[in-house]
Structure 1
Amino acid sequence: MRMMKENVQGFFDLPHHEKQKSAQKPGSLEGYGRAFVTSHDRKLRWNDTIFLKCHPRSCEILIRGQKSPGIQVIRIALEKYNEDMRKLAAEVVKYIGMALGIHEGELDLLTKSFGEGKYEVRMNYYPACPEPERAIGLLPHADISGITLLTECGNIPGLQVLSKDNCWVTVPPVPGGIVVNLGQIMEVYSNGTYRAPDHKAVVNKEKERVNLNSTLPVSSVQELVRQR
């Protein structure tokens, strides 16, 4: 986690022309750029992103055209980080399955799905914003995935979750901690026992914020949902 935090921050600190070597290609969200920009007429979010589909493919887009030793270090750190996050996700859903009381065979299939299913990572950079009340960090939404693991690269809060009484609550960063956010696949799988919370990202007037989102859509879990 320490290596990943340092190297992600290092990437966003690079000059713009260096980051552009890993830029998104037309028609693709993978690489460096801004997520989900479908029109130049819409309001843009106050952030930059590196988005990668890391499994079953590797992270070659991040190093495309790059000869910098620093980029190679990021790739090595990311591959190790991805491996560890996949193991963590499998452990988390194992205990969720145990709490749901599913039988051993299905529990094994559930944990295997998260250990071997599709995996994506998004690295987000939110610059300091002179008028944060007028900017969009990340729009309110619930994840459609199975599970997302969020790692903060600093101590700047920005994640907010919608509470049961319809109020936005700030999630304070915990040093060395990982925020586990369940998606709609797990909500459906658990028949609503576990909920996919609405959440958003706000920006800070004076300080930047960097974080990593490791997301497991897990196509085989979708098959489990259909079976249930």
Structure 2
Amino acid sequence: MEVLNGTDIPVIDLSLFPGSQNVDIKQLESEEFNKLRKACQELGFFLVINHGINPTLVQAVEGRIRDMFALPAEIKNRAIFPIFNAGYGPFEVHDVTKDTTPENMVFPWDHLLPNSVEEISARLWPQGNPAFCEELNAYRTQVRELSHRILRLLVWSLGVDISSQSASELFEKSYGNLRMNYYDKSTEKEMISKAHTDISCITILYQDDVGGLQIRTKQDKWIYTKPVPGSFVINIGDVLQMWSNGRYRSAQHRVVYGKSNKNRLSMAYFHDFLDEFEIRCPKEMIDKHHPQLYKVVVKGDIVEYLKKTGPNLYNPLHFKI
């Protein structure tokens, strides 16, 4: 499959969008809203700038997380939890496909693991690490607020009334998981993380300057994305593809790494939902040109499917009508 190098993806300037709960219909036809729609429809990825996340805090958290991954394996293993998608996960090479899962640490929102930042920190540093907890919780709060702001823009861009029940539940029944991924530069050969789509609603990704993120296009080509300082990468997840009746695209992606002079770090925040959240596309998304594509399911159905199949390239297709 062809890989295109250094491709720019759309950059969305959040300072150009309204910040209130209400939006004038004329703003929905603005150049920036049209640019946002096209990015979600065609690529499923875009960058945001002027997002409001404190850059000093981002740098501080990156330093804390690099220090965390530098801990000895026997210490990191203390943060392994018998809970799906929580705590420490070691580097893994998959036997059949030979692709990889990077070393990772997941800090779920508190309904899955109460006080997850403090609980994981206590296992790693029994003597205490209050600065780690304070900075990580502050970052998690700021990125959560950003996820709500971006999701409002996406709902507006689809022409759905944000006060409607179908739209409001996107916020009321949501939570967020924060996943840190660490890619070791020491490998002597090129490594590829498992290609997948995200089952979340949207993902907010901070990546360092190493690069390596690839996105699969509609034309079945892999494109590299250039890291842009001060930006976050946003991608559409499976839940939003299904909720939007396929209007917005959950794109497959992966990371190619190794042969670098620096370990790669990414921090992904997944705006997600409780297992009982019902994924039902709103009536505005269905018409004679856009018949309903997906069954009405709850988020727990997708999670159970993921547990059986592992990270999957085609999660939404399993739930097509």
* TM class, shorter-length: 0.7 to 0.9
Residue 133 of structure 2, aligned match among 75, 79, 94: 75
Secondary structure of the 1:110 match is helix
CA deviation after TM superposition for structure 1 residue 73, in Å: 2.1
Aligned pair 1:102/2:160, yes or no?
yes
- Checking the alignment, whether the CA contact within 8 Å between 1:86 and 1:114 is kept in structure 2 is no
Aligned pair 1:184/2:243, yes or no?
no
Q: Percent identity?
A: 25
Give me the whole-angstrom Cα distance separating, in 2, the residues matched to 1:151 and 1:85.
Answer: 10
Q: 1:44 to 1:162 in 2, by over 3 A?
A: closer
Find the counterpart in structure 2 of residue 147 from structure 1.
202
Secondary structure of the 1:50 match is strand
Find the counterpart in structure 1 of residue 147 from structure 2.
89
- Checking the alignment, whether the CA contact within 8 Å between 1:89 and 1:115 is kept in structure 2 is no
Give me the whole-angstrom Cα distance separating, in 2, the residues matched to 1:226 and 1:101.
Answer: 13
C-alpha offsets along residues 10-45 of structure 1, whole Å, 9 cap, x if unaligned? Answer: 1112233332332x135654222237x7x9866572
Aligned pair 1:34/2:90, yes or no?
yes
Where do 5+ consecutive residues of structure 2 fail to align?
1-57, 284-321
Structure with higher Rg: it is 2
How do 1:144-223 residues align onto structure 2 when only pairs under 5 Å count? 144-152=199-207, 154-206=208-260, 207-219=262-274, 222-223=277-278
CA deviation after TM superposition for structure 1 residue 208, in Å: 1.4
TM-score, normalised via structure 2 length: 0.61
Amino acid at match of 2:233: V
Quick check: 202-211 or 83-92, which moved more? 202-211
Give me the whole-angstrom Cα distance separating, in 1, the residues matched to 2:211 and 2:246.
Answer: 28
Aligned residues: 219
- Checking the alignment, whether the CA contact within 8 Å between 2:81 and 2:88 is kept in structure 1 is no
Q: What RMSD, in angstroms, separates the aligned Cα atoms of the two structures?
A: 2.7
Residue 130 of structure 1, aligned match among 173, 184, 188: 188
Q: 1:26 to 1:103 in 2, by over 3 A?
A: closer
TM-score, normalised via structure 1 length: 0.83
Aligned pair 1:117/2:171, yes or no?
no
Give me the whole-angstrom Cα distance separating, in 2, the residues matched to 1:182 and 1:163.
Answer: 13
- Checking the alignment, whether the CA contact within 8 Å between 2:101 and 2:194 is kept in structure 1 is no
Secondary structure of the 1:140 match is coil
CA deviation after TM superposition for structure 1 residue 220, in Å: 8.2
Amino acid at match of 2:201: G
Give me the whole-angstrom Cα distance separating, in 1, the residues matched to 2:149 and 2:236.
Answer: 14
Give me the whole-angstrom Cα distance separating, in 2, the residues matched to 1:76 and 1:100.
Answer: 37
Find the counterpart in structure 1 of residue 51 from structure 2.
none
Q: 1:7 to 1:101 in 2, by over 3 A?
A: same
Find the counterpart in structure 1 of residue 43 from structure 2.
none
Q: 1:226 to 1:46 in 2, by over 3 A?
A: closer
Q: 1:12 to 1:91 in 2, by over 3 A?
A: same
Find the counterpart in structure 1 of residue 13 from structure 2.
none
